[in-house]
Amino acid sequence: MKDFIQYIIRFLLGDEIPGELITAVGYTDDPRLYNKYSIVIYPSGFFDSSIYGKPASIPALPLKEIDKIPLLFGNSEEEMVNDTLVLHADIVASTFFLITRYEEMVKRSVRDEHGRFPGKESLPGRGRFIQRPLVEEYGLYLRNKLRQLGANLPKEKLRFRKIYLTHDVDVPFYCRTWKQVLREVVINKKSLVETVRLKTGNLTDDQYYIFPWIFEENEKIRKRTGKKRCKTICFFKAGGNTKQDKPSFRLTSCDMKSLFSLANTYGVETGLHSSYQAGMTPELIIKEKKHLETATGKKIRLNRHHFLSCREPEHLTFIQKAGIEHDFSLGYADIAGFRLGTCRAVRWINPATRNLTSLVLHPLTIMDCSLSEKKYMNLSYEEALAYCEKLISQTARFRGDLTLLWHNTSLQTGYLKQLYFDLLNRVTLQESSTPSKADE
Ligand SMILES: [Zn+2]
């Protein structure tokens, strides 16, 4: 079996499965090999060179189902061939399609005004199952088949594997540079004296500099859930010249040094917020990463794209070349949900080459502005809370990683501030609830 197929079977079965059971599952249409396995997943032909990469390989809606789970490839047929259970549901190809962003590679011309593939145009978006981590459901389906054959598998635990409270620092300060003073006086018609006082006064009086408070609130959750499992990460911009990259700020300013030092005090991890420009020209990521490393004195291993503008699936190659080991960009801006079909960290398989790489993709569960912005989901507070609760409970159900992205600028007032607290409370409640009977 090819590396990436072995990896997908391993990923579907989950980390807690004994090694001998992993080799009990095969992926072949050769009946002479069936007796090597307890379960064979029968390939649907998705990987054949005559169809792979072509528009005809994208499944048509409505999809077939297995146990009420939408199935991208194959069908629900099952047969026993001697002692081997042959499943015609091609959950390997279905998983590959979702975790690699294969669809985005095939549909190059489907992009929004920022060059991003819109979530609402994706198969999970159009099929209305983006709130379901299908890959986890396939995993459960496969484990249950092994159980039916008598395998003794551990029960799934209803608990988050990891919780990442993340903040993209697009605009760290409201009025701490002369450019910002000029904006306040000329455009916003504020008093010069008052504005200069803001610029030269205490950093903690700046309305966007609410990091002491954010880190303190996150710390409360970290203490309740365990500091190893729950992390705060700040992603800092370190370059970019497009209008979407404005305002630019000096990473070496006294104010930024104060922010870095505060982040250190709280054990906040630092990641690169690669620029909008780097989303278009991914070669720039290396330079931006070096710039951030020089300013912080730290080795940078984490990345998230500004505007989540990781445009083409193959652009992840540049992230890897830059020495990034973990990417946190993979959610859709226009709709919250499971862009990769999974809620667990997954190794990147390049859909163009089918190479299994060491780059780890961390699915982004919820970004603040996806919920509230008119052009995205345009939800009321109540609708947003109900929507997020579903994503959170799905993530806990499958022992996934919950990644929240809240900007310091949206934690000022209004419903996004309230929602952040309410979601942190839900996370704590979920942690203390009794285990579910997911597998019964
Ligand atoms: Zn950003």
Q: How far apart are CA 326 and CA 232, in angstroms?
A: 15
The residue with tokens 């072949």 is 28
Q: How far away, in angstroms, is 167 Cα from ligand 1 center?
A: 9
Q: How far away, in angstroms, is 328 Cα from ligand 1 center?
A: 12
Q: What is the pLDDT of residue 21?
A: 84
Q: Model confidence at 438, in pLDDT bands (50, 70, 90)?
A: very low
> Which tens digit of pLDDT belongs to each residue from 263-284?
999 999 999 999 999 999 999 9
Q: How far away, in angstroms, is 307 Cα from ligand 1 center?
A: 5
Q: How far away, in angstroms, is 342 Cα from ligand 1 center?
A: 23
Q: How far away, in angstroms, is 169 Cα from ligand 1 center?
A: 7
Q: Cα dist. 149→43, 68, 80 in Å? A: 21, 21, 11
Range in 196-210, 298-312, 358-372, 384-398 with the lowest mean pLDDT: 196-210
Q: How far away, in angstroms, is 366 Cα from ligand 1 center?
A: 14
363, 338 contact by CB (below 8 A)? yes
437, pLDDT greater than 50: no
Q: What is the pLDDT of residue 155?
A: 85
> Which tens digit of pLDDT belongs to each residue from 399-413?
999 999 999 999 987
Q: How far away, in angstroms, is 236 Cα from ligand 1 center?
A: 9
Q: How far away, in angstroms, is 272 Cα from ligand 1 center?
A: 10
Query: What percentage of the chain has pLDDT greater than the value 70?
Result: 98
Mean pLDDT of 314-341: 97
Q: How far away, in angstroms, is 259 Cα from ligand 1 center?
A: 17
Q: How far away, in angstroms, is 297 Cα from ligand 1 center?
A: 22
414, pLDDT greater than 60: yes
Q: How far apart are CA 240 and CA 270, in angstroms?
A: 18
Q: How far away, in angstroms, is 165 Cα from ligand 1 center?
A: 15
Q: How far away, in angstroms, is 290 Cα from ligand 1 center?
A: 19
Q: What is the pLDDT of residue 434?
A: 46
Q: How far away, in angstroms, is 213 Cα from ligand 1 center?
A: 20
440, pLDDT greater than 60: no
Q: How far away, in angstroms, is 54 Cα from ligand 1 center?
A: 33
Q: Model confidence at 188, in pLDDT bands (50, 70, 90)?
A: confident
Phi, psi of 216, deg, nearest 5: -65, -45
Q: How far away, in angstroms, is 317 Cα from ligand 1 center?
A: 21
Q: What is the pLDDT of residue 436?
A: 42
Q: How far away, in angstroms, is 232 Cα from ligand 1 center?
A: 16
> Which tens digit of pLDDT belongs to each residue from 23-82?
899 999 999 999 999 999 999 999 999 999 999 999 999 999 999 999 999 999 999 999
The domains found in the chain, sorted by start residue, are 3-148 (no CATH), 162-173+208-432 (3.20.20.370)
95, 135 contact by CB (below 8 A)? yes
Q: How far away, in angstroms, is 139 Cα from ligand 1 center?
A: 33
Q: How far away, in angstroms, is 96 Cα from ligand 1 center?
A: 28
Range in 54-58, 227-231, 278-282, 425-429 with the lowest mean pLDDT: 425-429
Q: What is the pLDDT of residue 439?
A: 35
Q: What is the pLDDT of residue 1?
A: 77
Q: How far away, in angstroms, is 172 Cα from ligand 1 center?
A: 11
Q: What is the pLDDT of residue 281?
A: 96
Query: What percentage of the chain has pLDDT greater than the value 90?
Result: 84
DSSP lists the bridge partners of residue 425 as none
pTM assigned to the model? 0.95
Mean pLDDT of 341-363: 98
Q: Cα dist. 311→54, 87, 120, 306, 380 in Å? A: 19, 35, 16, 11, 29
Q: How far away, in angstroms, is 289 Cα from ligand 1 center?
A: 15
Helices (H) and strands (E) in the chain, counts: 16, 15
Q: How far away, in angstroms, is 244 Cα from ligand 1 center?
A: 9
**Strand 346-350 to 355-361 pairing:** antiparallel
Q: How far away, in angstroms, is 330 Cα from ligand 1 center?
A: 13
Q: How far away, in angstroms, is 122 Cα from ligand 1 center?
A: 22
Which structure tokens are listed for 290? 């070096």
Mean pLDDT of 167-195: 87
Q: Is 94 exposed, middle or buried (0-12, 13-18, 19+ CB in 10 A)?
A: buried
Q: How far apart are CA 19 and CA 11, in angstroms?
A: 12
